[in-house]
Structure 1
Amino acid sequence: MKSAEQEFCIFEEWKLQTEKLSDHRKPDMVYLGRYLGGSDRDIVQKLDLKKRNYICTTSMDAELALVTANISLAASGKLFYDPFVGSGSFLVACAHFGATVFGSDIDGRSIRGKGERNLYSNFIQYKLTDFFGDSFVADLTNNPLRQIRVFDSIICDPPYGVREGLKVLGSRDPTKGKEPVVRNGQAHHTLDSYIPPKRPYSFLAMLDNILDFAALSLIENGRLSFWMPTSNDRNQEIKIPQHPCLEISSVCTQSFSKWSRRLITFRRVPDSEFTQLIREPRAIVDGLNADELNPFRKGYFQGFKPNNT
């Protein structure tokens, strides 16, 4: 039969023995199933990084990006935002499910790319330009977006600070960098060649800032999904951050040899369900260099040796 309205499938379970089937008149079990829908497994190969027009060293694997987008409830008509967009792996995955996507990054080079190979070229490649909202250069701690709850989901893979230390816009010395610099009668910060100063940034502070930003930007029951690295040693494990406006929805773990990374998903609690809770304070991290400000980076380069103290 062709173009059937309903498709059914029958499975029979028989004993696995050397005896002849004729000696068994009835199967142990019979299963009857109705076809409801197929999988979207082919999209993993379609979005494979090896076939993508533009990637960078931190591009998320296509399958993991799709899993993250799916667990964040990406769908048509929703607004998604990635504050650490890089080459746009998450945006492409969310756009595949029909979401309108936006992204930003402190490093504009990852967005602009080189020549015709850039973040937007990936949307051209997969014919997803209708779902691309915009991208811009910004720092999470100095985000230009209005504090309005408009996004259905915030999805990101923040930097782990292993290749290089985490940084945000600002000066190491808070008393400096405030006065404008004028060259040839033109303000230096208005020139295309201007590179804003940056200062070291605490990894734990970054996690808390992500949650704070999500609490101010997500609609009720919106999702925040991000990847967070941690040591497999319980004594060096980084605790999952908490926020009184956000409720943990799921935690998925990808394990490596001595460390793991978790896909953590939060739900924005509706105001009607909100009860004022006191956030568990983190230990204050003091330091000036990357290792002092990032316990994961320090443990990574020390091989996550067990703490015997």
Structure 2
Amino acid sequence: MKVGNGDLGPKPLKFTMPTYLIHFAQFHMEFRLPELDSLAILEAVELRYDPAAYSNDSPFMLVEIPNDDDARKLVKRSILVKHIVRLWAESPTLEDILETIKDARELHAPYLKSSFKFIVAAFGYTIELDEQISRIERFSFLPFEGPIDLKNPDVTFAYYEDYGKPSAQEGAVREANKPKRVFFGVLLASGNRGVVTTYDLKKRKYLGTTSMDAELSLVMANQALVRLGSFVLDPFVGTGSFLMTCAHFGAFTMGADIDGRQIRGKDRRNIQSNAVQYGLTGRVLDNVVCDLAHHPWRIQPVWDAIVCDPPYGVRAGAKKIGNNPKIKPPPTVLKSNGEPRYPQTVPYEMNDVIVDLIDFAATFLVPGGRLVYWLPTVTDEYVPEDVPIHPKFKLVANSEQNFGKWARRLITMEKLRGDEELVGVDLERGAEPATAVPAHSKFRTKYFECVRGVENL
């Protein structure tokens, strides 16, 4: 498979382009590659790496990219990348690194007169300050004549040691002189992790019980390929977390929800007040009260992305418009002729929610548009075939966030683009899971029977 310039998945390493070191954050490990692949497409950067060499247990990965400018573009809005480094050398030991770069004059030449500094870091071991200084001094043979500048250097050299994830036998004790591998190179750019603080829920004025945390909301915007001028819909908008993060990247966003109370908010705190807080009033357009089947949208492809967290039926019960003969509306919500002032609602089973969501996206997403949504599952029951498929979509990514007995999976699907991709496709068939009873079916019942008491739902 391929990535960059519209293709999905990584190209195999051929070592025909410069090699770079990606330094990931050691959080949300299953989401790191899907975000990186999405950013390569978004920024039209050719990216090659060996998927087999990637490990959730390490923050380091080697990639090939055509040049430094493309490397900077690739990570400039990444949430899960800390740094990207133009690699000078990789080796099992520091001594090997020093030997490799000692006479590499073509590497030294651009920086002979530049101001510089060194950073030293490790994974799986804490390098104390005196040890860091000792390692930096080992590079004193480099022929740099420029001044040391710790605040604003022309170039930053990065040295990393990877000790791997500690095993149960090793505990936290490591031998400082025995990393599994070491890296050295020029630090080119940092990711965009600082924006997580901007949208931190602790600082947000209007919240609800289902507000999505900032880090994952931003990752979802990246996986949805949200960019300047995109039109993005959240059909289960709640308190509007995804509207804010997608608008941050330049999208025009709208939301919908069957529960108008969350949209309206309380005491002048609502979705629009959050848009004011973040300076996004020109991009967070509006919200409507509707469900997936009863909505005001013209029947045509219009949305570039649909980003959402469907209600699981636990903290926020899933409902849709419908008549429930067992429940008689109270007189206060009836008109004089006996008809209800507001549409009645009925429970909405999780499997039906997901199937209807994908069918909705198949109609309203533009070709090449992405659907990014959360799918809750019971961990022991889940199989990959549970994820509903649709003839107009291809599955791009399926990443798990595990909470023990239950998990939620971030599903990214892309609508097929044109006639060539749709050859032989039965366009009349809707979304359907390959399994008869998927793990997310009747999730509310399973949750309270099997996993009740698990936090973070």
TM-score normalised by length of structure 1: 0.79
* Amino acid in structure 2 at the alignment position of 1:124: V
Q: Deviations over 1:182-240 (max 9, x none)?
A: 8458x956xxxx33211222221111110011011111111000001001113798811
**2:287 corresponds to 1:135:** yes
Residue 39 of structure 1 aligns with an amino acid whose one-letter code is: G
For residues 41-190 of structure 1, the aligned pairs below 5 Å read 41-163=193-315, 165-173=317-325, 183-184=335-336
Q: Which structure has the higher relative contact order (CA within 8 Å, separation 6+)?
A: 1
Whether 2:179 is the aligned partner of 1:31: answer no
Q: Give the deviation of 1:108 after TM superposition.
A: 0.5
Contact preservation (8 Å) 1:218, 1:268: yes
Q: Which runs of 5+ in 2 are unaligned?
A: 1-114, 116-148, 162-174, 453-457
- Does 2:380 align with 1:227? no
Task: Report whether the alignment pairs 1:218 with 2:365.
Answer: yes
Runs of 4 or more off by more than 6 Å in structure 1?
A: 2-6, 235-238
2:386 counterpart SS class: coil
Please state if 1:246 is matched with 2:398: no
Instruction: Go from structure 1 to structure 2 and tell me whether the alpha carbon gap of 1:17 and 1:235 turns closer, same or farther (over 3 Å shift).
Output: closer
Point out the more displaced range, 155-164 or 52-61.
Answer: 155-164
Quick one: distance in 2 between partners of 1:203 and 1:47? 29
Q: Work out the CA distance in 1 between the residues paired with 2:226 and 2:311.
A: 23
Letter in 1 for 2:271: L
> Distance in 1 between the 2:445 and 2:311 partners?
15
Backbone CA RMSD of aligned residues: 3.4
Asked if 1 retains the 8 angstrom alpha-carbon contact of 2:160 and 2:182, the reply is yes
- Note if contact 1:230-1:237 (Cα within 8 Å) is conserved in structure 2: no
How many angstroms apart in 2 are the aligned matches of 1:10 and 1:169? 57
Q: Aligned residues: percent identity?
A: 40
TM-score by length of 2: 0.55
Note closer, same or farther for the CA distance 1:86–1:304 as it changes in structure 2 (3 Å cut).
Answer: closer
| 1:2-47 deviation line (CA, Å, top 9, x unaligned) | 999963525488x9659xxxxxxxxx97733252x32221111111
Question: C-alpha displacement at 1:74, in angstroms?
Answer: 1.4
Give yes or no for contact 2:389–2:432 (8 Å, CA) kept in 1: no
**How far, CA to CA, are the matches of 2:276 and 2:285 in structure 1?**
13
Contact preservation (8 Å) 2:349, 2:441 = yes
Which amino acid in the other structure matches residue 154 of structure 1?
I
For the 8 Å contact 1:231–1:238, the answer to whether it is kept is: no
- Is there any run of 5+ residues in structure 1 with no aligned partner, and where? 19-27, 286-292
Which stretch of the first structure deviates more once superposed, 41-50 or 296-305?
Answer: 296-305
Measure, in 2, the Cα distance between the counterparts of 1:231 and 1:102: 31
Matched, 1:7 2:155: yes
Distance 2:411 2:312 in 1: 15
